[in-house]
Structures are given as structure tokens and as C-alpha cells.
Structure 1
């Protein structure tokens, strides 16, 4: 296990270095780096002095080494827009995104288990067909379009729900409700497909022959083995929620890492942008490793060395 964890950390470190290289290259290929830091109204003298102070006149390899070294020490620089250390600003916003993703996945998994299991227990029934059609539709519908329609209906037309903020539980309804649709649709299909095979297995037929209750057959005997594919897909969806929260947080004015990233790009705050991207990447790498470890513990056929 220790060897596996160290190996995954080494792979994640390589991927993180490549990500930092891409960010570094993009800022250089798009023009003078001082354009990312200074306002458009800055004079040539101010630009030259800033470039010299920041080392932008040094060779690119020297700049990249200094750039990675500072990040390795946890120093992403000063946020120009917030006038504070960029990492501190990103760390304050990230828990909001994590809560949003956690609430979304908890609701999606709970509903998917119930809907997918019942649809598999009554295959080809009206309930199964309705669930299949609805889950395919909601999983295929763009979340940004659903978010806009939800705002028009529930916030503008009926004025039931607020459009932005996190002041109370009511403020979370629209963002979570919109963000839950895609994972709910995908996870329901995964649970149904896995449960269909499990319900046809010999041990389930034995439980039926012994007179076990339908609820126990579905949610104890069959679900125990059907849950493994669910965990794998749920892990992928959870990491996708962290990356995909940018759109939803921006639309609903949700003060998470996604909206902060967009604001930092809009305000030409390069240090804060790098801090947000790096923090999100690190969390995604750690979540992927945790998913593999959990899967190996649940499935005795999988061994991590």
C-alpha cells in the first residue's frame, strides 16, 4: 500500500509539473507577462521597472525554475485584486466548492441507488422506462442551460428562490439542484445496469427461494456487489464536479473556487489564477488516489501493491 501511495504521489507530481509548465507557457505565449499584472494604463517606465523587479528579463528556463520553486514553497505570490497572499484567498473559497460537490454527490448517489435498484427489480416496466428516459435526458442536458432556465422560472417568474449567495440553506437549492442532474442521470444508469446482473445471480435466487423480503434482496444482497461500479463512476463524477463548478458558481454568484478563478482571470490576477488551478488539481489527484484505495478495500479481487 505504501509503495502504491508513493508511486501515485510521484505520478501526480509529474502531472502537476506539466500543468505548471502549461500555465507558464500560456502566459508567455500570449504576450508580455507584465500585461497580466499591470493595468493597461501603466506607462512604459512602470512596465520596464516591474519586469526587471519580477525577473521577466531573465532567460525562460530561469524564470520557470524560480516559478516552480516558489510554488513548491507554497508561495503563489500576492493577489493583485485582493491585495493578499493568493493561496490564502484560494483556500478560503475552496471549502465552499467542496461543500457544494459533497451535497451534490450525496443527493445524487442516494437517489441513484433507489431509482436504479427499483428500475432493475422491475425491468421493462413502465417505471423502468420512465426512469431510463428521464435519466438519459437530464444527463444529456447542458447544466448552464438548465441553470438559466431555473433562474428564469424559480427566481424571476415566481420569486421563490434567490439567484446568488450562500446566506442560508435556501441559497443552495438552485446550485445543488442544477449540479445534481448530470451525476444523477449517469449514476442511475450505472446502478440499474449493475443491479440487473446481480439480481439474476445464483445467490439472489437462493435468497428469493428462502423467502427473503424484496427490500432485503434489493438493498442488501444485490446492492452489496452492485455498488462497486457505482463507486468508480461516482469518484469520476465527484472530481468532475470540482472542475465543472466553474460554470454553475459563476451563473449563481456562488463564492467558490470556480467563481474565484473566473474573477481572477477577468481581473488579470495571474497569481490568484495559478493558485486556484493548482489547488483544484492537487485535490483532484488526491481524490483519484483515494477512490482507488477505497475500491481495493471493497473488492477483494483488486489488490494494491
Structure 2
């Protein structure tokens, strides 16, 4: 029984050495049968109480009330945390049917990342909790959405081109074309962003030059990227690491001897600061030729 209240304790385990343990009934009553005579040890264990031991002398049937004291114990706090879930998504341009690289992703939990060359990104969410995503890219309309991590659905987000930015880019492209004038190579047509994304997404500029222009690419004697003339060694390294998705326009001047590339980042700068375009210059009487 409870030592403080005198009430019977149900389901207490009562053991007398030399006999099988028994459970007390709802009123705390117990009966241990078949105990041999002699000095015996009785032990009582019950949830929420301290184990209690009594010595008794068994000569005949014995009635024994055992008072047990409540045990002071502390339960560890139960912490229920949602399960972390990896969330993978892809961002695409639906007009050009191509993945978008370097798209900025920000979540409501403070995570920031960018899409890779395949338009893919990875963030962490929590199962059963909505995750807010901000998706931003230069030249595209912003996209805000809420997802439910852990639902197993494939996630593809389509960013539509911003018509205002597209119009501003067209103005700058016309400036570039006007500046080239009669120096543009007739047999090596320029590549704009639409062609670069649709056909060459995931390829480096070096690869697309070789595959698109073949032997004609051997005419290239100098390379100008973002209005800066590069040495042959530097140009080789840049062309082999720059992806088509990072480029806004590729053009050829002076019958293909000059390769001019305008990156997406440079185009953003052009829109913001109105960069002055210098007339193209190519001098082939020196080796290597001078170009700017």
C-alpha cells in the first residue's frame, strides 16, 4: 500500500524468495502461495515507488501489509521535432525550353543557393511545414511559391522573360550590331541568347565554336570578351570554362578573325550604366594581331 495515503497499489510485483512473483490486485491485495517455512525476503516493486524489501519468518500463513514510499523521479522532456527533408528543384525558361543557370534561390528559413548548369538547386525543408521560395534571375519575372517538403512531387519552376528587360536588351544588341557595321563576318552568323540556350545549354563556348562552326573557327585570331581583348592563352582558358548559358551574344568580325563575346553579367552592366562601345579595331600586320 501507499505509505502516505494507505491506499492499495495495483499491479505491484511481489516476490518472496523461493516462489514465483505475483501481481497485486486493484485494491493492492496479493497472495503468494507455496512459500516454504523459514526466514524469507519479500520484495515489492511498483511503478512510481521505491523498491521495498521486508524480512519475515514463515511458520504458517502470514498476513503482511507492506507500505512503500513514492519515488521522486523526473521524466526527460519530450522533444518532437519535424524531420528534415532534402528538397530538389529545377528552374527552366519555358519560352526557350532550356534550364536556367545561376538563378538565385532564397527560402523562408534563410537558406540561399543558386541553380547549377542544369538549372537544379537543393535546399532543406521540414516535413509537414510549408517552405516559402523566392526565385530570382536577371531578365526574368520574379517567382514566389510555397512548397510542402516531403510530398515526393518533382518540382520544376518556369521563369518567364521580363518583357521590359528583353526590350532593353534588344536596344543594346542593336547598338552592338550598328557598331560592327560592315565588319561583320558574312559566313559566320552571330548567336543570340535564344539559340545559345535552346541548342548549346550545358556546353562550353569552346565546344559550341568547334561544333557549330567547324573549320571556320580556325579563322579566329583574337578574342574580345566584354570589350576586353584577351591574350591567346587567357582566351583559351576562358572559352573552355565559360558556359553558353552565361553568354548573351557571340559575333564574328573581320571575316571571322575577331571573336567578340558579351556575357550575361556584362549585359546587365550595360543596362545599368550605358557603357560606351568603342569601334572595333583589327590590325593583322603584327603577330599576334592587335584587336580591340
Whether the TM-score (by the shorter chain) exceeds 0.5 is no
Question: Which one has a larger percent strand, Structure 1 or Structure 2?
Answer: 2
Rg (Cα) greater in structure: 2
TM range (shorter): under 0.3
With the length of structure 2 as denominator, give the TM-score of the two structures: 0.23
- Answer 1 or 2: which has greater helix percent: 1
